[in-house]
Amino acid sequence: MSPRRIPGARADVSGSGPDGRITPDDIRAKAQELAGGVENQVQSARPLLMYAAVGGAVHVTLAAFWLGRRSGRRRSTVVEIRRG
């Protein structure tokens, strides 16, 4: 069984197992390394996302208020009471 060559893949990859094989521990270590990098990026972007979410909620609330107020003015009926 011959290994498939993936274009752009590095051929010098070797693991810590016998004969340079990749072991499950190698995979776990790499997954932890990648997860740690992603976690750092998420932590640094979280405040900006919170400000954007709050700003978006305020805009949606104000737009709903203004549109509801406008439609309420259009539909409001003026009732004239005459005493006689």
Per-residue pLDDT reduced to its tens digit, 41-71: 888 888 999 999 999 999 999 999 998 887 7
State the CB neighbour count (10 A cutoff) for residue 26: 15
Q: Which two tokens stand for residue 68?
A: 């509801």
Confidence of residue 6 (pLDDT cuts 50, 70, 90): low
Find the range with the poorest average confidence among 23-27, 63-67, 72-76: 72-76
Write down the pTM of the prediction.
Answer: 0.42
- Please give the DSSP secondary-structure letter assigned to residue 19: G
